[in-house]
Amino acid sequence: MRIVSLGIGSPNAPDAAFQASIATNVLTVSAITSGTIVVGGVVTDATGNVIAGTTISSFMSGSGGTGTYGLSVTYTNPVLSEAMASTTPNDNDVVVRVDQTPTLNQNDILVVLV
């Protein structure tokens, strides 16, 4: 086996920015600020209410815009409506701002083996 590509993702370059809430394992998007929501996107927020590693696992009533999406994590406490973003780990490089410390999260890495 060999690694043929290694992709990374960053909230600095999200696929989508949106207003949403979370109940159990359902993300309800009420407004899209920019971009398109995709299956496999890692969901983040600035408040820390979104559990690290939460990914969009399925389209429900949404298909890239407003609507509902299945999540990879079940929440015992709901997340009230707030600004969120989703990022797909498919970039070859990531820009880090001067006010940030680079960190690595396993859900932000995509490895393709052949």
| Residue 58 structural domain | 3-94+107-113
End-to-end CA, the chain: 6
pLDDT (tens, 9 = 90+) of the chain, 114 residues, equals 666 666 666 666 788 999 999 999 999 999 999 999 999 888 999 899 999 889 999 999 999 999 999 999 999 999 999 999 998 876 666 666 667 666 666 666 666 665
Residue 68 in domain: yes
Residue 16 in domain: yes
Give the chain's domain count.
1
Residue 101 in domain: no
Considering the entire predicted model, what is its pTM?
A: 0.75
Q: Which amino acid is at 39?
A: V
Q: Note the pLDDT of residue 53.
A: 85
What are the residues whose beta carbons fall under 8 Å from the beta carbon of 7, sequence distance 6 or more?
Answer: 89, 90, 91, 92, 109, 110, 111, 112
Q: Note the pLDDT of residue 89.
A: 72
Residue 81 in domain: yes
10 Å CB burial of residue 71 (0-12, 13-18, 19+) is buried
What are the residues whose beta carbons fall under 8 Å from the beta carbon of 104, sequence distance 6 or more?
Answer: none
Q: Note the pLDDT of residue 52.
A: 86
In 83-97, which positions are buried (b, 16+ CB within 10 angstroms) versus exposed (e)?
Answer: ebbbbbbebeeeeee
Residue 75 in domain: yes
